[in-house]
Chains A and B, each alone.
Chain A
Amino acid sequence: MKQKTIQSIILEFEPKSENILPALKKTNAIFGFVGEKEAKIIAEYFDVSESKIFETTSFYDEIKTEKQPEILIQICNSANCTVNNSFSIISEVENLLKIKAGSSASSKFKLEEISCLGRCADGPVMVVNGKIYERVTKSSVHGILGEYI
């Protein structure tokens, strides 16, 4: 399939201000992030400033402003998952991959602590490259990460 261009993505949206966020989400879904070049084209299309596009983009978790590492691991550390030991899973991943949560030092992995995804009955919850894993344990972490490494 031919790679979609940013131009073809935005043309799906009417140039009304309420369509900016959906257009950003779509761009993010296709490119993995909304880069400077895309932001500029989106700003021109919707006739708003680039700063407004970046303000909005950088506000929301789901839209990224820079290229993401190959493997993005997100672990919920909200109260319910914490009660189910999500902190031990965070340190397990930190030890396993020799990275620190929140650090962008590694270009291959990134570990993020995230807020509740509403799957509290099945916590702790871990997300790897968008795929959600529930009831994660210290031992199951190894198997899950094994799928990606």
Chain B
Amino acid sequence: MTDNLKVLTKYWGKINPLRIEDYICVGGYMALEKFIFKMNPEEAILEIKKSGLRGRGGAGFPTGDKLEMVARNSPCGVNFDYKIIPTSRDTPQGKKYFICNLEESEPGTYKDRLIVDNNPHLLLEGIIISALSIEAKKAYIYINGNYEKQKEILEIAISQAKEKKYWGENILGSNYNLEIEIYSGAGAYICGEETALINSIESNRGEPKIRPPFPTEAGLFGCPTAVSNTETISNIPWIISNGGERFARIGSKNSPGTKLFILSGAVAKPGIYEAPTGINVRKLIDQYAGGIKKGKEFWFAQIGGACGKLLLEKELKAKMEFCVGTGRDLSVQMGSGSILVVDKSVNIHDLLISWTDFFRRESCGKCVPCREGTFRLWEIAKRFRDGKISDRDKTAVEDILWTLDNTTFCPLGKFAGTAFRDAITKNILTF
């Protein structure tokens, strides 16, 4: 496989995103046709499983497994042991849902926005296939409240696709039916977490829910639900068209495919680049983003957004993967795929305040360690800036980072201290 293979960005800038005909011209919706006329849902899910596709939102959960869980789960009405608070008086029975996660509020990440800007129909085709494969009757696109322009683009794409009978009743004359609805978020980072997102569509506070039950068993309105990231879904048409095995041969073995990498900070050409997974960070910086910006000196890179790890110069050979620690080679959890290159002119204290302020503000406030811990970290970061750090603050930081890592309700809290911890252990920050 060459590095030039483009699954997601192949037609960016080449087709008019507002014209469905342009997309069809380059083979668009062929995967959907193949799915409808030549495959059954199980076969489609099998292909996705074979592809080894993992969730691109950050967690890297195998997409095929997730779809299969929902597909196999009988819709509502199953007896769950867990106390589920009925969120809707008219809980629709016998339903399953598919949700496209377009919340994308991970700092430094705007890949999903560009997918919609450049090729909305690719995403839409992926949504339709995924939703039909689990026999969902309704798909939601949960879009970031700030993405107004993208919402309009999607609305246009959706209405065009409906006219062509790619969704709606009796899709392409078959027995498949699907409803699609765009649901616009209202500004909360945590809503990118799938159970929080579900809470948000149910018009609750966007707080993560207790798991189990997992959304695949009891998700939206208590029904089995698959929530997938926008980029993940955009891979589905290619997998259906070209087969899972081919996809599995791209990039890293344990997390195959290509990935959108977002390079920013002190690089010569900041922007979004599609490259195979398993690529190392140095190559992305040097070969894709044109190296370090002139006059700047590399200090460290933050991988995967606000909760991402920090890499020093000597660690840049780390491969971008989803499963870390399985291979012989050094790899790094790529998260959302963002790489922020920080140069030596940056004030680390400002950055520390930035990280901690972010989590203090974006924590849902539900559990003690995250609500109180992120707040105290922010206070300590401010004392750092003012040179007023005491010995007790050192113990406090250790304690808070430990409790965030071990006792929070959801993964957001778990990773809220990653950057802070790395900054200390890697001597970027000195007490």
Contact = CB atoms under 8 A, between A and B. Distances in A.
A79 B340 contact: yes
Interface residues of A, number: 32
Most chain-A Cβ atoms within 10 A of its Cβ — which of B145, B147, B201? B145
Nearest to A88: B350
B265 A80 contact: yes
A73 interface: no
B110 interface: yes
Contact of B342 (A18, A20, A83, A113): A83
Contact of A121 (B110, B346, B361): B110
Contacts of A117: 146
A70 B190 CA distance: 29
Given A60-B186, A87-B347, A115-B189, A79 B110 contact: no
B163 to A, nearest CB: 25
B75 to A, nearest CB: 18
B169 interface: no
Interface in B352-379: 353-355, 357-358, 361-362, 364
Contacts of B187: 60-63
Contacts of A21: 186, 200-201, 203
A119 interface: yes
Interface in B171-201: 183-189, 200-201
Interface of A is mostly: helix
A80 B107 contact: yes
A22 B338 CA distance: 31
Given A18-B201, A60-B186, A115-B189, A79 B206 contact: no
A56 B113 contact: no
Interface string B104-117: 11111110010000
Contact of B264 (A25, A47, A59, A120): A120
Contacts of B147: 118
Contacts of B145: 25, 60-62
Given A78-B354, A118-B105, A120-B262, A17 B271 contact: no
B203 A78 contact: no
A113 B350 CA distance: 13
Interface string A5-26: 0000000000011111110110
Given A18-B88, A79-B306, A82-B354, A55 B109 contact: no
B84 interface: no
Interface residues of B, number: 55
B390 interface: no
A55 B347 CA distance: 37
B418 to A, nearest CB: 12
B355 A22 contact: no
A79 B205 contact: no
B88 A16 contact: yes
Contacts of B355: 79
Contacts of A56: 203-205
Looking at B113, B205, B207, B302, which has the most chain A CB atoms within 10 Å of its CB?
A: B205
A45 B364 CA distance: 27
Given A19-B203, A121-B271, A79 B351 contact: yes
A62 B110 contact: no
A119 B106 CA distance: 11
B240 interface: no
A116 interface: yes
Interface in B81-103: 87-90
Contact of A87 (B89, B340, B350): B350
Interface string B99-142: 00000111111100100000000000000000000000000000
A24 B187 CA distance: 13
Q: Which of A19, A24, A56, A119 has the most CB of B within 10 A?
A: A56
A77 B205 contact: no
Contact of A17 (B89, B188, B340, B361): B89
B266 interface: yes
Nearest to B207: A59
Contact of A116 (B107, B185, B346, B350): B107
A51 B342 CA distance: 44
B313 interface: no
B107 A78 contact: yes
A58 B265 CA distance: 33
A80 B357 contact: no
Interface string B57-95: 000000000000000000000000000000111100000
A21 B198 CA distance: 12
Nearest to B359: A115
B87 A121 contact: no
Interface in A26-69: 47, 55-56, 59-63
Contact of B270 (A22, A60, A121): A121
A38 B205 CA distance: 18
Given A118-B109, A121-B264, A60 B354 contact: no
A82 B205 contact: no
Q: List 4 A-B pairs, minimum CB-CB distance, nearest first.
A: A61-B187, A20-B203, A60-B186, A78-B107
6 contacts: A17-B202, A59-B364, A60-B188, A78-B306, A116-B108, A118-B104
Given A87-B347, A87-B350, 5 more contacts: A59-B205, A59-B206, A83-B264, A115-B361, A116-B306
